[in-house]
Amino acid sequence: MFKKTFILSLCLIMVLSIFPLGVGGSIADLQQKQKQLESQIQEYRKQADALKNEKKNIEAEINALDYELNALSLEVDACNLQKQEINMKIAETEQEIKKLNNEIEENNEALEERLRVMYKQGTAGYLEVILHSENLIDALTRIDMVQLIIQSDVELLKEIEEQKLEVEDLNLSLETERLELTAVINNLNEKKDQVLVASRSKVTYMRSLEDNIAEIQRQEAEMEAQSQQIERDIIAAQRAVEYAGGEMAWPVPGQYRITSHFGGRADPITGVWSSHGGTDIAAPYGTPIVAANSGVVLIAGWNNSYGNYVVIDHGGGISTLYGHSSKLLVSSGQAVVRGETIALIGSTGYSTGNHLHFEVRINGVRTQPMDYLK
């Protein structure tokens, strides 16, 4: 990209050395030089347009990366919330396991104590139970109760042990899920980093495109300024004859809607306040444009701003310009008479619609056209 900019700069220097500002010569020579400049300006404009399209594509890619980055961030946030919930569940199950362990321990101690007592007392223990019984039925009942207590303790311990195993399995499952989520989050964060690096790279590249576009536009502006200087030289080389005389004819017969007056205005394309050097007259495509007065055609050609345009020398330092036409019907050096059709309405060059941009120049200086029109 730097190489391209360097080559463009070198081309500009070469052109400026070939066509210095304020150059003299015949009108034909000046027009030839202006034509070459216009061709170079067109090339710069194509290069700038290509870079602008590339910039537009890069901006679209950056927007897509930003969207992906936002989506990944949301996904990471969701996974982190899920991870927090799992951690809370794990903490809860750990507390439940601790509680169950305490219950198991207490029941084990109670059971062991009863077993120790029964072991120490042996048969005497059973005899004591029978002797203290009111009758045989009472004695048997007491023995059954002791057995039931022991059996109940054993079943309770089994149940608690099963619950403990169940909770431990749940805890293991949650821990596994938490580890998997951690891996997912790490992977998402890695993707975020990759997308962020790609996005920053695109932004850096886009800035380099903007720099190249600005450089090309600067060179184009210099070429445009040089082209305008040559046009002023052409006007300065006008015929040293008297003005053709009389008021000028309306340049678009039958069409009188003025869309933009001479003077300051907001640019219709950029919106920037600027000076408008002529009067814009709206008309349908292909409507005839006529010479405002008799004279000789100085220029009939192309300009990036005016598009297809004509400049007529009327003598006395007065000339008229007709811009944005769709077709030219006269050529340089041709004599024309007042009211003669010289071009057709169009929207070429820097234009937003079909119209005629009409200028009146006095010794090359643009002035209010309405002061001269009939």
* Mean per-residue pLDDT of the chain: 75
Q: What is the rounded CA–CA span in Å between residue 66 and residue 249?
A: 60
Grade residue 186 by pLDDT with cuts at 50, 70 and 90: confident
Tell me: pLDDT of 330 over 90: yes
Structure-block tokens of residue 246 = 């009389």
Grade residue 140 by pLDDT with cuts at 50, 70 and 90: low
Structure-block tokens of residue 215 = 């450089």
Q: What is the rounded CA–CA span in Å between residue 327 and residue 341?
A: 11
Question: How far is CA 248 from its chain centroid?
Answer: 50
Interval 150-172 mean pLDDT:
72
Tell me: pLDDT of 22 over 50: no
Tell me: pLDDT of 62 over 90: no
Grade residue 49 by pLDDT with cuts at 50, 70 and 90: confident
The residues facing 328 across adjacent strands are 343
Tell me: pLDDT of 21 over 70: no
Within 13 Å, how many C-alpha atoms sit on residue 118's CB side?
12
Of 133-137, 160-164, 177-181, 311-315, the range with the highest mean pLDDT is 311-315
The secondary element (H helix, E strand) that includes residue 374 is none
Tell me: pLDDT of 172 over 50: yes
Torsion 323-325-329-331 (CA) sign: positive
Does the global pTM surpass 0.85? no
**pLDDT value at position 257?**
93
Cβ proximity of 334 and 362 under 8 Å: no
Q: What is the rounded CA–CA span in Å between residue 337 and residue 296?
A: 9
Interval 160-180 mean pLDDT:
76
Nearest Cα to Cα of residue 286 among 353, 364, 354, 333: 354
- Cβ contacts of 175 within 8 Å, gap of 6 or more: 90
Nearest Cα to Cα of residue 150 among 125, 175, 171, 173: 125
Tell me: pLDDT of 37 over 70: yes
Grade residue 166 by pLDDT with cuts at 50, 70 and 90: confident
**pLDDT value at position 321?**
93
Q: Which of 184-193, 218-227, 255-264, 297-306 has the lowest mean pLDDT?
A: 218-227
Residue 346 DSSP symbol: B
pLDDT tens across 102-117, in order?
776 776 676 666 656 6
Calculate the alpha carbon distances from 182 to 6, 83, 282, 334 in Å: 51, 8, 68, 84
Calculate the alpha carbon distances from 112 to 92, 103, 118, 150 in Å: 30, 14, 10, 10
**pLDDT value at position 270?**
45
Torsion 116-120-123-124 (CA) sign: negative
Q: What is the rounded CA–CA span in Å between residue 252 and residue 44?
A: 34
Interval 195-208 mean pLDDT:
80
Q: What is the rounded CA–CA span in Å between residue 373 and residue 282?
A: 16
**pLDDT value at position 125?**
52
Interval 334-353 mean pLDDT:
92
Of 96-100, 324-328, 368-372, the range with the highest mean pLDDT is 324-328
Tell me: pLDDT of 74 over 50: yes
The secondary element (H helix, E strand) that includes residue 271 is none
Cβ proximity of 80 and 72 under 8 Å: no
Question: How far is CA 116 from its chain centroid?
Answer: 84
**pLDDT value at position 122?**
52
Please tell me which residue, 168 or 296, carries the higher pLDDT value: 296
Tell me: pLDDT of 353 over 70: yes
Q: What is the rounded CA–CA span in Å between residue 316 and residue 323?
A: 22
Nearest Cα to Cα of residue 356 among 322, 329, 305, 317: 322
Structure-block tokens of residue 178 = 């938490």
Please tell me which residue, 271 or 228, carries the higher pLDDT value: 228
Q: What is the gyration radius of the CA atoms in the chain, in angstroms? A: 48
**pLDDT value at position 290?**
97
35 phi and psi, to 5 degrees? -60, -40
∠ CA 286-287-289, nearest 5°, is 115
Grade residue 237 by pLDDT with cuts at 50, 70 and 90: low
